[in-house]
Amino acid sequence: MKVLSPMSQDDEEERERDSAQPYEAAEDFEEGRTDGDGRTKRWRRSVEQALVKMTAEVAALREHISTGREWQGRKMRSPGRWITWFVWLCIRHALVDMVLLGLVLLWLRRKKDRRVEDLVRQILRIGREYLRMVLPER
C-alpha cells in the first residue's frame, strides 16, 4: 500500500532551501534563544510555519480518512454485498438443517425407527432423478 503525504508548493521550496544549507536552521534555533529581537522573530516565524504545515497535513489526513470511510460505507451497502450476504445466510441455514437432520436420524436409528430414514432416502432419490434430467450427460 502506498502512503501518500500532502505536499504544497511551500514544502517543496523549503526542502530545496534546507538541502542547500542544512546547518543554518540549527544555528538559527540556538541563537534565537540567546540573542535579541531579530533571531527570536526568525525562530518564532519558523515555528509558526511548522505549525501551519502540520495543521494542513492533519487536515489532509482527516480528509483522506473520511474519504476511505465513505468508500467503505458505499462498499458495505452495495447490491453485490447484499446478495453475497443473502447467499451466505442460505448456505448457513442449509448446513444447520443438515446437521439437525443428521442428529435426528442418528437418534431414531438408535431407537430402531426407520421411518424418517426411509423418507430421506426417497427425497434423495427424487433429487438425483431431477439432477439427471437437468444436468447434461457426460
Asked if residue 2 is part of any domain, the answer here is: no
Q: DSSP states of 63-128 as a string? A: HHHHHHHHHHHHHHTSHHHHHHHHHHHHHHHHHHHHHHHHHHHHHHHHTT--HHHHHHHHHHHHHH
43 located within any domain: yes
17 and 62 housed in the same domain: yes
When pLDDT is cut at 50, 70 and 90, the band that residue 13 belongs to is: low
Residue 114 within a domain: yes
* Domain stop point among 28, 58, 76: 76
Position 64 in a domain = yes
Q: How confident is the model at residue 4 (pLDDT cuts 50, 70, 90)?
A: low
Domain presence at residue 33: yes
Identify whether 128 is part of a domain: yes
Identify whether the C-beta of residue 106 lies closer than 8 Å to the C-beta of residue 120. Answer: no
Q: Is 41 helix (H, G, I), strand (E, B) or coil?
A: helix
Residues 69 and 89 in one domain: no
- pLDDT digits 0-9 by tens, 59-80: 999 988 888 877 776 766 778 8
**Overall number of domains in the chain:** 2
64 and 110 both lie in a single domain: no
Answering whether pTM is above 0.85, one says: no
Choose between 9 and 52: higher pLDDT.
52
For 27-36, what is each residue's pLDDT tens digit? 444 444 555 5
Residue-wise pLDDT for 39-57, tens only, equals: 788 888 999 999 999 999 9
Residue numbers of the domain that contains 94: 81-134
Is position 1 within any domain? no
